[in-house]
Structures are given as C-alpha cells and as structure tokens.
Amino acid sequence: MAIWFKQALSLADFEGLGAGTMGEHIGIRFSEVGDDFLKATMPVDHRTIQPYGLLHGGASVALAETLGSVGAAMVIDPEKFICVGQEINANHLRGVKQGLVTGITRPVHIGNNSHVWEIRIYDEQERLVCISRLTVAILQRRS
C-alpha cells in the first residue's frame, strides 16, 4: 500500500518541482517512485565535487535533504501542512570521482508532527557511498 497523499503519485508529479532551486543547479533528477520510496540521481561533475575531485559531502547532503524533504511533502496534505527540515546527519563511506550517484529514501517514522527519513546514496556500481537520516517537522499551514 502506497504511503503518498496523492493516490497515483508518478514521476510526472515531480516535473518542474525543483525549478530555480539548488537541486536544479546541481542536476538532481527524480527517477523512480515506489509505494514507499523515492529515487533521484545527481551527477558527479564540476558542480558537485570538492578540490580533490571527489563528490563533495555537502552535495551528498543536498541530495539527501532534497529526497527526504520531497518524500515528506508527498505524504502530507499540502492544503493543511508544510514540512521543514529540522536535522540531518550523514556518514560519507566511499569517494566517487565521476558518473552518477543515486539516492533512495524511505520513511523510518511518519508521525503527525515529525517524520524521519533514511536516505542511502549509491554509486553506479551500486556501492553505498553515503547514508543519511533527516528529521522533518510537520507544521500547520498558515492562511
């Protein structure tokens, strides 16, 4: 059973979602929607590397927070609530010099006031690059 607020959530629902944001600037693209997960890719290129030529940890965290925040936003009723990040942590486990990384997020906890999302980022050989956890506050939308 799907966890999403919109019953038939598809990739079409993500078109234009990140227009004008950091996610667009660094090339994050949503690639798959499942019943309880979202996937997105990000290139390892001049926008996302650090001076040693490796994927920047901050870029990995940007991918993780984008995935977890969008996941949380897709679970809540957008007419009544908004969600904002409260805390994120990340363990960087493997360096990546080129190609694409893929992040996948699943909820650990979906509560009325907060969500916790786990995000795993993999390289093109499906090796774990980074594992992250994001806590999101669910707030009532003000009129």
End-to-end Cα separation, the chain, in angstroms: 32
* Residue 98 identity: Q
* Residues contacting 122, CB < 8 A, separation 6+: 101, 102, 103, 104, 128, 129
Sort 89 into a burial class: Cβ within 10 Å, 0-12 / 13-18 / 19+: exposed
Tokens describing residue 75? 């679970």
Residue 128, SS3 per DSSP: strand
Catalytically active residues, by annotation: 65
- Bin 46: left if φ > 0, else alpha if -120 < ψ < 50, else beta: alpha
